[in-house]
A and B are shown apart, each in its own frame.
Chain A
Amino acid sequence: MPDLKVSRRRVLLSSVSSDSHTWNLVFLQLLIEELGHEVVNLGACVPEDELVAQCLRHDPDLVVISTVNGHGYADGRRLIGALRRTGELAAVPVVIGGKLGVAGAADEQYAAELLALGFDAVFQDGADLAGLARFIESVRPLEVTA
């Protein structure tokens, strides 16, 4: 039997600064909790400085950014810069997903750039949610590595 405490990750879930959609966040919180992890849900329209402060405060094993309003690429670029510039957060795994631009399927070009800027994974709209589950499992909880 795997020790529950060890496999349980602390996931910080957040939107980007301009996005007020929250159904995505409500849904992802339930999903990630059902996978056995703890979720800190920051809600809508989270400015970068607040995201950084909350990451420092909660010390998450993983940060999940969810956005659908079409500004995800622009806001995501800014946000990952702010996180990676913060020494303690330079290596925390960060993923982003949802609808990242305003042009639907034509927005797929953004993924490569977001990865290059420091995201560990990008899940475009319609991506298999099992991919997120696998990613979370692949992250080693800090307690074990410490």
Chain B
Amino acid sequence: MSGSFAGFVRDARRRGNLVVQPRMGFSDPAEMRAGLLATKRARATAVGTVTLDSYTRVGDHDAVARALAEGLALNGYPIVDHDPATTDGVLAGVRDETFPVQVRHGSPLPESIFAALVSAGLDATEGGPVSYCLPYSRAPLKRAVRSWARCCERFATLADRGVEPHLESFGGCLLGQLCPPSLLLAMTVLEGMFFRQHGIRSMSLSFTQQTSAAQDEEALRGLHRLIDEYLSDVDSHVVLYAYMGVHPRTPAGSFRLLADATRLAVRGGAARLIVKTPAEAHRIPTIRENVAALEYAAEVAVDPATRRLVGESVADTGVHAEARALIEAVLDLHDDLGTALLLAFAAGYLDVPYCLHADNRGRARARVDGAGRLRWTAIGSMPIGHLVRPPRDAGVTSAELLSSLHYVERKYDRAALHAAPTRELRAHELDAGPGVAAL
């Protein structure tokens, strides 16, 4: 269906345009509307985002009400607590067939969020029973699985009204960093299969830029293969997230990281890229910073130098095979995907490194190796022992953990400080406002 979020991305892909999207959300409706308008006007093939605040995510509506009454800025748009008329006012004349809008939240129990976005006439959102539970809450996984099953089923009924509901899995991100790609791929594909089991026919599967361009490109190619193998009967596209871990502190470093994310998206065949801005390491980005990031990514995407790299071969270091082993082991546990996921986490077949959630076994560990690639240092009970040989887990000190967490920040900030910025980069840094002087 054209005019839908999914249809927009399909059309852009057919034309060879990478769709770019911000992570943007403000509690003030006027600012939210201004942000969407600015995204729409950006020199880019862009879609809009309404990112929800943390109180809405955890269902603390009293806290939203108090903050709004006090005029305290939240870290996102409280779509459940703002009057439906207010949200209509935010979207009216902004969202249309040339500019679809997606709601991004991070809620394990999203019934009221789905109700609010559907009543606002929106057809696209994000999440998943695992990926919006383990990184985002202390809610039992069992409750999240039930809640997401219900929400998918209700969301799917939009199709009866001629609307094409689109759901993006956050499984390719999880905690944002220090998770080897195979587990991210397995998670997003399993969530996609869960969505399908609960009636969703249009979805995006995700992956997050990590520490090594070669490893990331291998992962994106692996994701396409997995989609062919497991999800070929639904409408889908691949969405890439610009780095989701600790960010460079300099604007130049941040733009370089975004440029690499864009190249990765183009080379790896992603249809959509979600950007980050130079404010990432410090605070919530402004509208201007978001627009500058969108336009910069759009420029890099069409740069002939970027396009030239498409189709080059990448080494197979086993990312796809590991992901497949994880997926197969989970599918063997139960026909109902939700039950299979619960059993898999209980058995430690899926084990997210460093995740503190009570339903995660917490025995897996990973680090950045000398070549900048993510490697398992402990796999717990994950059924990939025949594919990876982690070293004896020596444990990690706080300094070593921090060093791995800051690997990308260090690499890009250093590169930025040692190289003369290109003319384009300089223009964008100036657009991004204060902070440049620090360089």
Contact = CB atoms under 8 A, between A and B. Distances in A.
Interface in B284-309: 284
B54 A44 contact: no
B135 A71 contact: no
B333 interface: no
Contact of B138 (A27, A44, A70, A102): A44
5 contacts: A23-B405, A43-B358, A70-B54, A70-B75, A104-B283
Contact of A74 (B67, B177, B401): B67
B60 A17 contact: yes
A1 interface: no
A45 interface: yes
**Among all A-B residue pairs, the 6 with the closest Cβ atoms:** A104-B283, A30-B398, A18-B54, A31-B398, A70-B75, A43-B356
Interface in A96-130: 99, 101-105, 107, 125
A27 B282 CA distance: 19
Interface in B55-87: 55, 57-58, 60, 63, 66-67, 72-75
Contacts of B60: 17-18
Interface in A1-28: 17-20, 22-23, 25-27
A23 B137 contact: no
Interface of A: 17-20, 22-23, 25-27, 30-31, 34, 41, 43-46, 69-71, 73-75, 78, 99, 101-105, 107, 125
Contact of A20 (B72, B135, B398): B135
Contact of A18 (B58, B284, B405): B58
B394 to A, nearest CB: 14
B175 A102 contact: no
Given A74-B63, A102-B75, A27 B398 contact: yes
A43 B138 contact: yes
B354 interface: yes
A71 B405 contact: no
Contacts of B135: 20, 22
Contacts of B313: none
B37 interface: no
Contacts of B55: 18, 71
Nearest to B132: A20
A102 B283 contact: yes
Contact of A25 (B137, B177, B356): B356
Interface in B344-389: 354-358
A103 B138 contact: no
Contacts of B138: 43-46
Interface of B: 54-55, 57-58, 60, 63, 66-67, 72-75, 106, 135-138, 175, 177, 246, 279, 282-284, 354-358, 396-398, 401-402, 405
A20 B107 CA distance: 10
Contacts of B398: 27, 30-31, 34
Give the most central of A25, A71, A73, A99: most B CB within 10 Å: A71
A20 B356 contact: no
A22 B54 contact: no
B355 A104 contact: no
A82 B354 CA distance: 30
A20 B402 contact: no
B57 A99 contact: no
Contacts of A25: 356
Contact of A69 (B54, B282, B405): B54
Contact of B73 (A17, A22, A44, A102): A102
B57 A18 contact: yes
Given A23-B175, A25-B356, A102 B284 contact: yes
A99 B247 CA distance: 15
Contacts of A78: 63
Contacts of B358: 43
Contacts of B354: 22-23, 26
Contacts of B58: 17-18, 20, 45
B397 A20 contact: no
A99 B54 CA distance: 14
Contacts of B106: 20
Contacts of A20: 54, 57-58, 106, 135-137
Contacts of B177: 23
A129 to B, nearest CB: 9
Contacts of A18: 54-55, 57-58, 60, 63
Contacts of B137: 20, 44-45
Contact of B356 (A26, A70, A99, A102): A26
A30 B54 contact: no
Given A41-B356, A69-B54, 20 more contacts: A17-B58, A18-B54, A20-B54, A20-B137, A23-B177, A23-B246, A23-B354, A25-B356, A26-B354, A27-B402, A70-B54, A70-B74, A71-B74, A71-B75, A74-B66, A78-B63, A101-B283, A102-B74, A102-B284, A107-B283
Nearest to A78: B63
Contact of B357 (A30, A43, A46, A105): A43
A20 B137 CA distance: 6
A31 to B, nearest CB: 4
A30 B356 contact: no
Given A34-B397, A70-B75, A103-B73, A22 B282 contact: no
